[in-house]
Structure formats: structure tokens, C-alpha cells
């Protein structure tokens, strides 16, 4: 079956631009997670949704970062007024209600110039 | 608070020789533990997981890991390395009572022909 998909795969933005990153989870998966992976480091948790409810956003680095999942399926991570330090791979993962394994998408590589 | 330590940032082995990637964790809960692999420009793939059943866990591609509570370790092993095993490996800890996961910094595995 289809896995987690993310788009775009690559995004180049000029500093100060807004960007929107999309995640399509595995169909029927209740939980959705966003992570930020800087070059040479492990992924770091950003935020977590259960259905449409954002239950944890403690990892969002600033108020320029905003995530939503209005219908409990597709999610969008928005970054306003991008800065160079936002350059990273943004990973999305989903999980069913019946297990503890998170399934990851291929990520979106964001480069801020 | 939870944390994960991967003792080696880089491991190099010859093809056909054993692989050992070390992971130590700290957790105030009985944790769930995972190993993920990340090939270049690809998404994270689950290798195996420990969730308080058998302490020796077998995963895909011949990998296995042993949970040792007394040593707070969850080292990943494989008897014979293959060229296709070259990748980045992440040890991950998750609270059983919550959904947030913590990634280790990763170990880069190189396999020499």
C-alpha cells in the first residue's frame, strides 16, 4: 500500500519568504508527527496531531512555525519569514491507532538562501 | 527526561564481518526502543523494535538487537555486513505512556569491499 508522502521533495526559499510543506499520511492513520532534521543530526520532534487535534507543539522552534491538520488527514507545516537556520529536512511520520511504530515519509529538504 | 546516546558517530567494517552499533538510553519509564535506518536521500525505515516482550529482537535484513535493562543498552548487531548496509542508523526511545520519540544522534555505517 501507499506509504507516507511529502511534497515538495525539495524547496529553495529566499530568506524572509513563507513556505508550506505538505504531508499525506498513510490512509487511516490517526497520529501524525513532524520532525526537523538538521544536516548530520538526528530528527528532532516538532509537533504531533491526533486526528485534527494538535496535542503537542512543544518542539516548534518559534512562532514562525505553524502546523495544521484540519480534516484529520493531510497536514501542512508552514514556516513564515524563513531564516537560514530553518534549512533542514522536514520529516513527517504517521502511526495507526493500533501500534507504536511511526512510518516516515521521504522528507522535504528546505534550503533558505 | 529521556535521552539516547549513540557512542560512535561513525563505524567502518569490512564486507562479511560483524556489525555492532551501540546505543544507550536513559528513561524514567519502561521504554519502547527502536532502530531506524536512513539511506541517502531516502526516508527512515524501521529495522526493529523492542516493546517489553522478548529482550532479543530480530529485525529485517538480518539485524537484531538485545535489550539489557541492567546496562540500559540496546545495541544493534548483524553477523555479516553487506555493502547495502551502508547507511545512517538511529536509535530511538519512546515513552510507553506518551507518544513523543527521542532520536539519538545517529551512527554512520561504512562497509568496505
Backbone angles phi, psi at A111, to 5 degrees: -120, 125
pLDDT (0 to 100) of residue A96: 87
Nearest to B4 by CA among B44, B34, B47: B34
Domains recognised in chain B with CATH numbers: 3-112 (2.60.40.10)
pLDDT (0 to 100) of residue A98: 79
Range of the domain at A9: 5-106
Residue B14 has pLDDT above 80, yes or no: yes
Contact (CB<8Å) B105/A41: yes
Distance CA B60, CA A100 (A): 17
pLDDT digits (tens, 9 = 90+) for B37-93: 999 877 899 999 998 778 899 999 999 999 998 899 999 999 999 999 999 999 998
> Is residue A111 included in any domain, yes or no?
no
Residues in B touching A54 (Cβ below 8 Å)? none
Contact (CB<8Å) B100/A56: yes
pLDDT digits (tens, 9 = 90+) for B24-33: 998 777 788 9
How many independent structural domains does chain A possess?
1
pLDDT digits (tens, 9 = 90+) for A61-93: 999 999 999 999 999 999 999 999 999 999 999
Q: Report the side by side order of strands in the sheet with A5-7.
A: A5-7, A19-24, A75-79, A65-68
Residue B2 has pLDDT above 60, yes or no: yes
Distance CA A52, CA A73 (A): 8
Cα dihedral across residues B50, B35, A73, A17: positive or negative: positive
- For chain B, give the longest Cα–Cα distance: 44
Q: Which residues pair with A33 in a beta bridge?
A: A48, A93
**Average pLDDT, consecutive stretches of 10 residues, N- to C-terminus, chain A (113 residues):** 89 97 95 93 92 92 96 96 96 87 92 96
Residue of B31, B41, B95, B101 best to disrupt the A interface, most CBs of A under 10 A? B101
Residues in B touching A100 (Cβ below 8 Å)? 32, 49, 51, 94, 96
Beta-strand relationship, A88-95 and B87-94: unpaired
Residue B98 has pLDDT above 80, yes or no: no
pLDDT (0 to 100) of residue A1: 55
> Is residue A112 included in any domain, yes or no?
no
Nearest to A76 by CA among A36, A38, A19: A19
pLDDT (0 to 100) of residue A20: 98
Which stretches of chain B sit within 8 Å of chain A by CB? Answer: 32, 34, 36, 41-46, 49, 51, 90, 94, 96, 99-106
Query: HEC states along B63-97?
Result: CEEEEEHHHCEEEEEECCCCHHHCEEEEEEEECCC
The CATH number of whichever domain residue A83 belongs to comes to 2.60.40.10
Beta-strand relationship, A103-104 and B10-14: unpaired
Distance CA B108, CA B95 (A): 25
Contact (CB<8Å) A48/B100: yes
pLDDT (0 to 100) of residue B97: 47
Distance CA A106, CA B101 (A): 18
> Is residue A113 included in any domain, yes or no?
no
Amino acid at each position: 500500500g501507499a506509504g507516507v508522502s511529502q511534497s515538495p521533495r525539495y524547496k529553495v526559499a529566499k530568506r524572509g519568504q513563507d513556505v508550506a510543506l505538505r504531508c499525506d499520511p498513510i490512509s487511516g492513520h490517526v497520529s501524525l508527527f513532524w520532525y526537523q532534521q538538521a544536516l548530520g543530526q538526528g530528527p528532532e520532534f516538532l509537533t504531533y496531531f491526533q486526528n485534527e487535534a494538535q496535542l503537542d507543539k512543544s518542539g516548534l522552534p518559534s512562532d514562525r512555525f505553524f502546523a495544521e491538520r484540519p480534516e484529520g488527514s493531510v497536514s501542512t507545516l508552514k514556516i513564515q519569514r524563513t531564516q537560514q537556520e530553518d534549512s533542514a529536512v522536514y520529516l513527517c511520520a504517521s502511526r495507526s491507532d493500533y501500534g507504536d511504530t511511526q512510518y516516515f515519509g521521504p522528507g522535504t529538504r528546505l534550503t533558505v538562501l | 527526561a529521556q535521552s539516547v546516546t549513540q557512542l560512535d558517530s561513525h563505524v567502518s567494517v569490512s564486507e562479511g564481518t560483524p556489525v555492532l552499533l551501540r546505543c544507550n538510553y536513559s528513561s524514567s519509564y519502561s521504554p519502547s526502543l527502536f532502530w531506524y535506518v536512513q539511506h541517502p536521500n531516502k526516508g527512515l525505515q524501521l529495522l526493529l523494535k523492542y516493546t517489553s516482550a522478548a529482550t532479543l529482537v530480530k529485525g529485517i535484513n538480518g539485524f537484531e538487537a538485545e535489550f539489557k535493562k541492567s546496562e540500559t543498552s540496546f545495541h544493534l548487531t548483524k553477523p555479516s555486513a553487506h555493502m547495502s548496509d551502508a547507511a545512517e542508523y538511529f536509535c530511538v526511545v519512546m515513552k510507553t505512556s506518551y507518544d513523543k520519540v527521542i532520536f539519538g544522534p545517529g551512527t554512520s555505517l561504512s562497509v568496505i569491499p
